[in-house]
Amino acid sequence: MQARIVGSARGARWLGEGWRLFRAAPLAWLALVFAYWLLMTMVSLVPVLGVAAAAVLVPPFSVGFMAAARACARDEAPGIALLFAGFRDKLRAQLALGVVYFACLALVLGATALADGGALARWMLLGERPADEVLGSSAFLAALATAAALYTPVMMAFWFGPLLVAWHASGAAKALFFSFVACLMNWGAFLAYGAVTAALMLALPLVVLGTLALVSGGALAVPAMALALPLVIVLLPTLLASFYASYRDIFGT
């Protein structure tokens, strides 16, 4: 298991490769995303332990999406059963990753509570949207900055971690370490990937909605908002498939 260093240009193309993988089987991808959303919603609704259980299940489910992307790359049909690929082997290690992931999220949200009194944490965990004056406060902005700074190394550790456990027979701790190092070694590629992703995921919907609202003088505000949903539905599986593109470039399978 050895990570390669790729250039920034490769990182900039990962999202495009994700789009190609999505186009290979769009209906199958939409079915996978819907099934995942439905299952995770049901789990998270379980009293007391639901949110924690949903976080623990993120690593094995992420393997399922990567298995679907790999199937598309091999011109194979990504059946719904692939969503559960991460539960078929090395499940104990995957769940160990999930426990660590939940603990990291708890620490990150706990740290943000020191800045804003828990407003961001309650929004993320309970769906309690803060008041407008809270959203615009310096304390809430500090909480967002804290979350971004602390979650970045967590994301780096888990970017490849579940796949290294599933496809490289790595232990949980070793997988997290190698994933973090691989991301660090390829910081330029990930920076380019992040810039392209932010431009498409954030700017494209805003441009479309803004243009429609401007042309219509606000009359199409509601239809424009309705148009945003299909954009999100298409962009989400594209983003998931792009994770596999980064794995294939850096770890080569």
Q: Are 152 and 184 in contact (CB under 8 A)?
A: no
pLDDT at 10 over 70: yes
In this prediction, residue 105 has a pLDDT band, given cuts at 50, 70 and 90, of: very high
Average pLDDT over residues 141-168: 95
pLDDT at 219 over 70: no
Separation between Cα atoms, residue 64 and residue 249, nearest integer Å:
19
Q: List the alpha helices (DSSP H) in the chain.
A: 8-24, 26-44, 50-56, 58-73, 91-116, 119-126, 132-135, 138-159, 161-168, 172-185, 187-198, 204-216, 221-251
Neighbours of 61 (CB within 10 A): 23
Contacts of 58 (CB under 8 A, 6+ apart): 98, 101
Average pLDDT over residues 98-125: 92
pLDDT at 206 over 70: no
pLDDT tens-digit profile of 63-79? 999 999 999 999 999 99
Which pLDDT does position 166 carry in this prediction? 96
CA angle centred on 56, ends 127 and 85, rounded to 5°: 120
Percent of the chain whose pLDDT exceeds 70: 89
So where are the chain's domains?
8-251
Which of 198, 108, 199, 203 minimizes the C-alpha distance to 152? 108
Average pLDDT over residues 215-231: 58
> Which CA distances in Å does 124 have to 3, 7, 103, 113, 136?
34, 35, 15, 12, 17
Q: Which residue has the tokens 């993988």?
A: 21
Average pLDDT over residues 182-209: 85
Which pLDDT does position 217 carry in this prediction? 55
Which pLDDT does position 123 carry in this prediction? 86
